[in-house]
Amino acid sequence: MQRPTAYSGAQDGAMFSPVVTEFWDRSFATATVSPDGGATVLIDPHRESGAALLSTPDGRDRVALSPQVATASGLAAGAADIAAVHRRLESMGLALDDAAELYYLPEHAKEELLGQETAAQVRPLTSADAGRFAALTAVCSAEDLDEAEVELDDWDVLGVVAEDRLVAAASAYLWAGSQIADLGVITHPDHRNQGHARALVRAFSRRLLTAGYEPQYRCDPDNYASAAVARAAGLARFGTWTTVADG
């Protein structure tokens, strides 16, 4: 039986499922990182976008480049200085998309989570909840909705309903054809800081694990409130994922 993999130097020493670590190893075409703590540059012939970066809390970075970007930038496979990689890409006029912090449930936290009951107010949402969902999203900012990416027609949807009113909602979809399910959560502005988002992330994580999937939570590095929800729900930071695209 293969043991879960942990990146040495992780902030809390968390060990994550092989489903998670092997997905990112495949995404960056290797299971190794530069031994000197620098960046490892990989040339990925199957990469459609210009480049992608994965930074983990141990200070190591993996960079995957399309052959076109590698040729144009003069970057070769192997060890590199991450600052130099950024400078080379920026000199080509490549735009770095907003980075996303990645959170997953550590292996040691799963047993406790699976043994807990789902809060009574949390239930699945269906098309019958369209009016409630529309009322919730109407009072949330465009920025919050854009980051949460919660949709009523997603693969799976849960909500917190109080007095026939939807005060928080979360949805998930399968991530890049893997056994990872990416989830987002949105809460009514008048009902924040009441534990609804945490309850939804916990309930969704339990639901996904029971179905054989690993929950994934992403947020903007500057969204401290969202990161706090992830940590309160028992998830641990895995790393930062950044994509780079031409123009």
Q: Which two tokens stand for residue 101?
A: 């912090």
Range from 9-13, 37-41, 69-73 carrying the lowest mean pLDDT = 9-13
pTM to 2 decimal places? 0.87
* Per-residue pLDDT tens digits for 99-108: 899 999 999 9
* Per-residue pLDDT tens digits for 193-244: 999 999 999 999 999 999 999 999 999 999 999 999 999 999 999 999 988 7
φ, ψ dihedrals at 51, nearest 5°: -165, 165
* Confidence at 96, pLDDT banded by 50, 70, 90: low
Contact 47, 85 (CB under 8 A): no
Which residue is associated with the tokens 């399309």? 66
CATH architecture of 104-238: 3-Layer(aba) Sandwich (3.40)
Task: Give the residue extent of every domain in the chain.
Answer: 18-102, 104-238
Task: Reply yes or no on whether the pLDDT at 33 is more than 50.
Answer: no
